[in-house]
């Protein structure tokens, strides 16, 4: 962390992370967090939490990719 | 997991505990693993948002440029018109559902602004705000779930 901070000027929690070009990747941890929080309340046993959360993450990711493709087609070819 | 052996705890107390510490409401009603999982998810999202955009993504209502109190007719707008002031920064409503940590982060943002740390650029700011607000919304679902479980154990909501 100190090496990263000294090489990029990033001060954790005070300045923005140096990830300007990789921001779409940030979608994945967000979806994992949402899935784990949601499934923590839904699944009957703790052993089912991880597989169910991963499945939901996959569905959400595929859904967002599908929405992105559909919108790209709509904007690029239809409108 | 059976919760019938748990003593009755007021759903309001469970909700308050769930707001103060994400997952604590579930722990109180005997669903410890749910509480731990919820805490891990909500805390990861909130801390992740702060790491991505910096502490200034939690923008406290009532402060101009995140550092000076907004005054109207000599008094602070947050005390003069609290509803209107808070509605002016709706993201904070969702972020505040994460619990006291949101207010600590908001105060940290004010201190950071006063020390010259700029607001993040638009996209990173949006993503950081989204992470913290999502953490609050997921905690709200957790609060409602824990409160519902408490009321089903025999009390009234």
Q: Is there a contact between B39 and B22 (Cβ–Cβ < 8 Å)?
A: yes
Which residues of chain B register pLDDT less than 50?
1-3, 155-157
pLDDT of residue A5: 57
CA-based nearest distance B84→chain A, Å: 28
pLDDT of residue B84: 85
Q: Is there a contact between A26 and B52 (Cβ–Cβ < 8 Å)?
A: yes
- d(Cα B152, Cα B3) in Å, to the nearest integer? 10
The verdict on a CB contact (< 8 Å) between A33 and B135 is yes
Q: Is there a contact between B96 and B128 (Cβ–Cβ < 8 Å)?
A: no
* A15, A20, A41 ranked by CB distance to B145: nearest: A41
pLDDT of residue B156: 47
pLDDT of residue A60: 97
Average pLDDT, chain A: 89
Interface check A8 vs B, CB under 8 A = no
Match 């929080």 to its residue by tokens.
A37
Provide the 8-state DSSP code for B157.
-
pLDDT of residue B66: 67
The two three-digit tokens of residue B111, written as one number: 């201190």
pLDDT of residue A2: 54
pLDDT of residue A11: 87
Highest mean pLDDT among A8-17, A19-28, A45-54, B58-67: A45-54
At B13, which helix (H) or strand (E)? helix B11-20
Among A25, A28, A37, A51, pick the best mutation site for testing chain B contact (most B Cβ within 10 A). A37
Interface check A9 vs B, CB under 8 A = no
Instruction: Name the nearest CA neighbour of B95 among B22, B38, B34, B14.
Output: B22
Which residues on B lie below 8 Å from A33 (Cβ)? 41-42, 44-45, 48, 131, 134-135, 138
Which residues on B lie below 8 Å from A21 (Cβ)? none
Interface check A76 vs B, CB under 8 A = no
At B72, which helix (H) or strand (E)? strand B71-72
């Amino acid at each position: 962390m100190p090496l990263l901070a000294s090489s990029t000027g990033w001060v954790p929690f005070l300045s923005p992370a140096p990830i300007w070009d990789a921001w779409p990747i940030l979608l994945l941890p967000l979806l994992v967090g949402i899935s784990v929080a949601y499934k923590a309340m839904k699944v009957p046993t703790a052993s089912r939490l991880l597989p169910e959360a991963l499945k939901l993450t996959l569905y959400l990711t595929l859904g967002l990719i599908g929405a992105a493709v559909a919108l790209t087609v709509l904007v690029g070819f239809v409108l | 997991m059976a919760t019938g052996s748990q003593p009755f705890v007021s759903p309001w107390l469970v909700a308050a505990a769930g707001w103060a510490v994400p997952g604590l409401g579930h722990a109180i009603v005997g669903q410890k693993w749910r509480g731990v999982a919820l805490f891990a998810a909500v805390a990861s999202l909130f801390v992740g948002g702060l790491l991505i955009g910096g502490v200034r993504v939690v923008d406290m209502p009532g402060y101009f440029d995140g550092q000076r109190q907004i005054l109207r007719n000599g008094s602070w707008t947050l005390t003069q018109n609290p509803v209107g002031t808070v509605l002016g920064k709706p993201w904070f409503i969702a972020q505040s559902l994460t619990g006291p940590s949101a207010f600590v982060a908001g105060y940290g943002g004010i201190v950071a602004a006063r020390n010259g740390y700029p607001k993040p650029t638009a996209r990173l700011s949006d993503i950081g705000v989204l992470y913290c607000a999502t953490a609050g919304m997921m905690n709200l679902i957790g609060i409602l779930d824990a409160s519902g479980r408490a009321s089903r154990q025999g009390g009234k909501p």
